[in-house]
Structure 1
Amino acid sequence: MGKRVLIVDDAAFMRMMIKNILTKHGYEVVGEAANGKEAVELYKQLKPDVVTMDITMPEMDGIEGVKAIRAIDPNAKIIMISAMGQQAMVMEAIQAGAKDFIVKPFQQERVLQALERVLARDD
């Protein structure tokens, strides 16, 4: 089972927090991006197994990022992680192709559960 992760968040401390959780549990963080545009470029280069994506970011937000990555790879596994827990945002992210949605501040277990569940699915 693949465990290569691309972390996308405009806040460096948030990327570091997620990275620490993942590396501690055997995931390999292959790249980090500060916005959706960087995420799309890194996705093409690194071909990670899963992406964690913030929603509110400069240049290209997470929802546009999901759409752009899914346009390149319809099977991309993307988990949204955002403080924007409004229903509309969650629905938009899921419709754009996100596989799960984690609301900040999050528990370490919630992040690990989401990754395991998304990686276990074959859709």
Structure 2
Amino acid sequence: MALRCLIVDDSDHFKEAARLLLEADGIAVVGTAATSDEALRWFQELRPDLVLVDIDLGEESGFDLVIRLCEEAGGRRPRIILISTRDEQDYADMIATSPAVAFLSKPHLSGRAIDEILRKADA
């Protein structure tokens, strides 16, 4: 069964490009969201295996959304990967304290990169 993914990003162009890329790599993109409210609604409804969250959601913070997603998940810890076009070092302290499982730069986004991250997180 394919990994089921929700993409949260305020760029429609990126969401579509990421969907095509990930689906070509065998990951089922079950939904996309542009805002925290949309993301929380889809998260509850779709129950994805993985959520990719852009750190910069325009007026909103991806870091805040990750915390809200974890609260909404109740007892289960959701698998969330933070994404950004910016370098990981720009957010190193916030990434380190985030409940997200990892950070992945958008240029390195692929099914293989996600698989490696999740294998390490599950080990």
TM-score, structure 2 length as denominator? 0.83
Structure 1 residue 88: Cα displacement: 5.2
What is the rounded CA distance, in whole Å, between the counterparts of 1:94 and 1:4 in structure 2? 25
Equivalent residues of 1:2, 1:119 under 8 A apart = no
* Contact 1:77-1:118 at 8 Å conserved across structures: no
Deviations 1:52-108 (A, max 9, x none): 11011135321011000011224101111102325352331342211111223x13x
Q: Which runs of 4+ in 1 moved over 6 A?
A: none
Aligned counterpart, 2:41: 41
The separation in 1 between residues aligned to 2:96 and 2:14, in whole angstroms, is 22
Alignment partners' CA distance in 2, 1:89 and 1:50: 21
The equivalences for 1:75-114 within 5 A come to 75-85=77-87, 87=89, 89-104=91-106, 106-107=107-108, 110-114=109-113
Q: Does the 8 A contact of 2:26 with 2:111 survive in 1?
A: no
Equivalent pair of 2:5/2:49 in contact (CA under 8 Å): yes
TM-score, structure 1 normalization: 0.83
Q: What is the aligned partner in structure 1 of residue 14 from structure 2?
A: 14
Percent sequence identity is: 30
Q: How many residues align?
A: 120
Q: Which runs of no fewer than 5 residues in structure 1 stay unpaired? A: none
Whichever structure has more strand as a proportion of its residues is 2
Cα displacement (A) at 1:7: 0.5
The alignment's C-alpha RMSD in Å is 2.1
Q: Which residue in the other structure is 1:32 paired with? A: 32
